[in-house]
Amino acid sequence: MTGTGLVGAAFAATIELARARHLNVWEPWLPAEAVPPGAGLVRLLHLGVDVPAGAVDPAQAELIVQLGLGRRESDRLVAASWAVTAFRGVLAAGHREYGSGVGDIHIGEDSLRFAAAVLAAAPRGRVLDIGCGSGLASMAAARTAHQVLGLDVLPAAVEAFGISAALNPGLADCRAEVGDFLDLGRGDGYDAVVANLPGVPVPDGVPYPTAGDGGPDGLRLIRALWRWYAGMSTADSLVMRFQCPGGPRTPIAVAELAGFMPPGCDILVVTDSAVPMLVRNAITATRAATLDSQRGAEELTEELQRRCAERGWTHYHCSTLRIRRNGSGMRVHVPTPDLVDVRRSYRGTGWSMSVEELALKVGAELRRMPDEFWSVAGLNAIQDALAHLERIYTDLGHGATERQIASSLSDASTPLDQAAAVLVVSAIARVMVRMSLLVPVVGVDAPVTEGRRGMGSA
């Protein structure tokens, strides 16, 4: 039995269509209201909703049971701990309740961005996927590669990889094994390497799921991979996602990266998001608190913020890296174009715009929010901010910073809520600047223009 039944039932197409209509176009796991009521297979495997056995084709039901994606109970199919999602026609399985254990297999927004980078690179020949996790990127590589080997330290990743491979028939030869890339020695025989290793800054002593823990600065495994690729691997290319802290414009890893690679390597780093460390730390603290019986999310957030301040880390950067070994020695870093600086203040210009018109433009901006936003209380923050849109405009125009306004929103009571509110207010401010409603001012205590209220109902 192969995955033909699932693909033939337009499982992937249903998810893709629903995602295109969703505010977050990189969301792997859609809300129940986004899935058509009659899509029994999607409701079972994607949402985890039990369905009547008759709602699923018998061949599909057989595959579901064989792969451990569900089980039969009387006349119903009951969802398992594995959930299935799809991205650009590629199916993959991850744990439904990520964060409940240190060995969980996670599929998040960054997983989809990484798969997109692999599809764009179209690797050929033999490909090694280091930290393969769910196998989503491996299946993406298998679209163009001859053979793909997935490698991960988590046994559950090999199980997830096997499920994902079974759901994607007709691709290259794909297999996975438990192992560490540092044990590969020379690593000969591969034409390309793809990797998306843990990159969350997690200080020693703070518990965190293995799938995200990148050590004190988030670069523990990433640095090791770069050393291995430069000195031990013969692969012509490396494609990877990496996350790490840094200053307002540059991840700390960018300066180091050039030193790792030999002369002649082309290095391109594209940073697609840079958010205040508060955002990353709030997410980290919330997930760590589920594994720490002694400390709550607020205490952990304060500890993480203090450690970052000591190191001068103001922002958390998410980037895509492409390296080609035999190039011209090009070194390029493209920073994020929309930097979030919660210390920035503004003054009003006196221009006016209706609340309704501004809300539409803000909605378009929110579709471009960074991955971290959707990992916090993003949708709640959007609703709260839009309900106070006129007040936010007035406060920004009178010199309040984005962080100050976020703290005043009614639903921003926890570190996670604060992080989401900061990003929403930042997105609103960017739209207002583009529409000439606000002008950025250097310094928090800059003078402001009183003027008239620039918004009202149409």
Dist CA 408 CA 268 (whole Å): 40
pLDDT at 449: 33
Check: CB of residue 362 under 8 Å from CB of residue 382.
no
pLDDT tens track, the chain, 458 positions: 345 556 555 889 999 999 988 878 888 999 898 888 888 899 999 999 999 998 888 888 998 999 999 999 999 999 999 999 999 999 999 998 865 555 789 898 899 999 999 999 999 999 999 999 999 999 999 999 999 999 999 999 999 999 999 999 888 899 999 999 888 877 778 999 999 988 899 999 999 888 788 999 999 999 999 999 999 999 999 999 999 999 988 999 998 898 899 889 999 999 988 888 988 998 899 889 988 888 988 899 999 999 999 999 999 999 999 999 989 999 999 998 766 666 678 888 888 778 788 888 887 787 777 777 777 777 788 888 888 888 898 899 888 888 888 888 765 567 778 888 888 888 888 888 888 899 988 654 333 333 333 433 33
Check: CB of residue 392 under 8 Å from CB of residue 385.
yes
pLDDT at 445: 39
pLDDT at 447: 34
Residue 428, helix vs strand vs coil = helix
Dist CA 126 CA 142 (whole Å): 9
Going by C-alpha positions, the residue among 267, 258, 249 that lies closest to residue 335 is: 249
Q: Can you give the residue ranges of every domain in the chain?
A: 4-87, 91-334, 345-456
Residue 371, helix vs strand vs coil = helix
pTM to 2 decimals?
Answer: 0.83
State CA 339 to chain mean position distance.
17
Residue 318, helix vs strand vs coil = strand
Check: CB of residue 94 under 8 Å from CB of residue 107.
yes
pLDDT at 387: 86
Going by C-alpha positions, the residue among 458, 427, 453, 431 that lies closest to residue 349 is: 453
The C-alpha angle with vertex 298 and arms to 293 and 303, in degrees rounded to 5, equals 90
pLDDT at 446: 36
Check: CB of residue 18 under 8 Å from CB of residue 30.
yes
Pairing status of strand 82-87 against strand 147-152: unpaired
Sign of CA dihedral 113, 117, 122, 125: negative
Dist CA 279 CA 284 (whole Å): 9
Unique residue bearing structure tokens 């290793």: 197
H/E element, 94 = strand 90-95
Residue 153, helix vs strand vs coil = coil
Which one of 3.40.50.300, 3.30.200.20, 3.40.50.150, 3.40.50.10470 gives the CATH number of domain 91-334?
3.40.50.150
